[in-house]
Amino acid sequence: MTDAADGEIRVRSSVGRWVVLTTVLGSSMALLDSTVINVALPRIGEDLDTDLAALQWTVNAYMLTLAGLILLGGALGDRYGRRRVFVVGVVWFAVASLLCGIAPTAEVLVGARALQGVGGALLTPGSLAIIQAGFHPDDRARAVGLWSGLGGVGAAVGPFLGGWLVDGPGWRWVFLLNLPLAAVCVPVALRHVPESRDPDAHGRFDVLGAALAALALALVTYALIEVAEQGASVMVIGATAGGVVLGTAFVRVERRRADPMVPPSVFASRQFTAVNLVTFCVYAALGGFFFLSAIQLQVVAGYSALGAGTALLPTTVLMLLFSASAGDLGRRLGPRIPLTVGPLLAAGGMLLMLRVGPGASYPVDVLPAVLVLGLGMVTLVAPLTASVLAAVDTGRAGLASGINNAAARAAGLLAVAALPLLAGMGPEAYRDAGEFASTFRRAMPMCAGLLVAGSVIAWWALRRAPEPGREPRPQCAINCGVTAPPLEPEPGPRHT
């Protein structure tokens, strides 16, 4: 069997085809859940008779564990074998999906979603890392292109399939669908995908740093979600204080460790720091937008789950069609203009969503908004990827990509927790069309404001085009329709 560590696999070989198929299947599990979970939220709330806070936790429990552990998951794959950790992640994700599908209560569903996030943290970094480590350099770009393109098909099919499942057999099948995918993926991976490791991976794993980051995010998220119902209770104040203390402890630990999960030195680059701030603003806005819009379309505009899922599909289609061209344009112009203009276009699309109310017409009210939003995402996503990787040495590309990925997921997590609070949504708002519509009108300008803030940061802080010879390796630019960026940690030397 070909050794993936040698980087000699060819796309046209049988091994190459199996590797692409396996990684696409694994990635599709996480992608399908992310593209349909927001569409399923109103039905989940009705079926489990729960409030808005539980729906927020249904989204955020997954994002919390994924954001907190994704860098550690990548490091585990480098050390113990990317295929091994990938397979463990797929199995873990499938078992957690089964628990989600049979959850009798909202509390069980939230716990199972957190377990899904752990599986995603093991699975997500490995899919692209297997390709980058195994394929011959001459075929690597093509392999990643196939992975991205086939994943894009999954992203396009997801809203149709998810909406049909929610309207037909029920929301539980959104999770149970992962079981047959895993049943195919695992044996194919074990039989056909060569193992690979990073021979330079060394040092202790930064388990303490990962735990502190995840716990700090969990406490802050709890405070933001529960303050709407509990007010300034002892629990809310304690969670806020605990989150601040643990966040401070995380920074101190990372500064003192010999092999930190997030080396502070990487932020010495002004461009890297600025691009991560832009990322945070952009994906906080997108996370809040997709969470609230899917409910708005169903509860207020009267769309079915299938209709709501497909209504936002043009953003994904535009990304598939024009991301490569946008990447070329970004390389010619440098990151400043695309990362300034793109967020402003996306902000305009979100403000156009204010037209969506009871009986909204799709071609008149919804489509213009999602098209403008999609154009903004096309403009900014590829240059964002390139800027992150161009801001650091090539040997730290995987680390930089992973940090940016985690920042984007954390941004979406905090936005889903904070926006309903800031917009004044009550615990039962999603059951009342009038109440939800009024709070939605307050939330969209907030999302647009985050995008404008990202645009201002990009204009002020980004001055130069990426340096010649620092072309980034190809990245996936398709997973843009929900709360996660098109970045996956790449293989290579990393701090663990």
pTM for this model (two decimals): 0.82
Structure tokens at 7: 């980087």
Q: Taking a C-beta distance cutoff of 8 angstroms, is the pair 476, 324 a contact?
A: no
SS (H, E, C) 221-273: HHHHHHHHHHCCCHHHHHHHHHHHHHHHHHHHHHHHCCCCCCCHHHHHCHHHH
How far is it, in rounded angstroms, from Cα 380 to Cα 176?
34
Dihedral sign for Cα atoms in the order 300, 303, 306, 309: negative
- Degrees (nearest 5) of the Cα angle 125, 126, 131? 115
Q: What is the DSSP letter of 9?
A: B
Q: Taking a C-beta distance cutoff of 8 angstroms, is the pair 42, 430 a contact?
A: yes
Give SS3 for 466.
coil
Dihedral sign for Cα atoms in the order 45, 55, 308, 362: positive
**Closest-CA residue to 123 (of 170, 162, 167, 178):** 178
* Token pair 């392999």 in the structure block, residue: 143
Give SS3 for 103.
coil
- Residue 489 contacts by C-beta under 8 Å, 6 or more apart in sequence? 70, 71, 74, 125, 128, 129, 398, 399, 401, 402, 405
Q: Taking a C-beta distance cutoff of 8 angstroms, is the pair 62, 158 a contact?
A: no
How far is it, in rounded angstroms, from Cα 115 to Cα 100?
9
Residue type present at position 381: V
Residue type present at position 311: A
How far is it, in rounded angstroms, from Cα 322 to Cα 494?
32
Residues in the chain: 496
**Closest-CA residue to 308 (of 120, 39, 101):** 39
**Closest-CA residue to 487 (of 88, 89, 75, 27):** 27
Decide: residue 358, CB within 10 A, 0-12 exposed, 13-18 middle, 19+ buried.
Answer: exposed
Structure tokens at 235: 């629990």
How far is it, in rounded angstroms, from Cα 496 to Cα 487?
19
Dihedral sign for Cα atoms in the order 315, 311, 59, 153: negative
Q: Taking a C-beta distance cutoff of 8 angstroms, is the pair 313, 156 a contact?
A: yes
How far is CA 218 from each of CA 241, 242, 314, rounded to the nearest angstrom? 12, 10, 33
For 84, other C-beta atoms within 10 Å of its C-beta total: 18
Per residue in 168-200, is it b (16+ CB within 10 Å) or e — as a string? eeebbbbbbbbeebbeebbebbeebbbbbbbee
Residue type present at position 314: P
Structure tokens at 191: 């039989």
Dihedral-angle region of residue 255 (phi above 0 means left; psi in -120 to 50 means alpha; beta otherwise): alpha
| Residue-level pLDDT, tens digit, the chain, 496 residues | 444 445 677 777 888 888 888 888 888 787 777 777 888 899 999 999 888 888 999 988 998 888 888 888 888 887 788 889 999 999 999 999 999 999 999 999 999 999 999 998 888 877 777 877 777 777 766 776 677 667 666 666 777 788 888 888 889 998 998 999 899 999 998 988 888 777 766 667 778 888 888 899 899 998 988 887 777 788 889 999 999 999 999 989 888 887 787 888 888 888 888 989 999 999 999 999 999 998 999 999 999 988 888 888 888 888 778 876 776 777 787 788 889 999 999 999 999 999 999 988 999 999 999 999 999 988 888 788 777 767 777 556 667 777 888 888 889 889 999 999 899 888 888 888 889 999 999 999 999 999 999 999 999 988 654 443 444 443 433 333 333 343 443 434 343 3
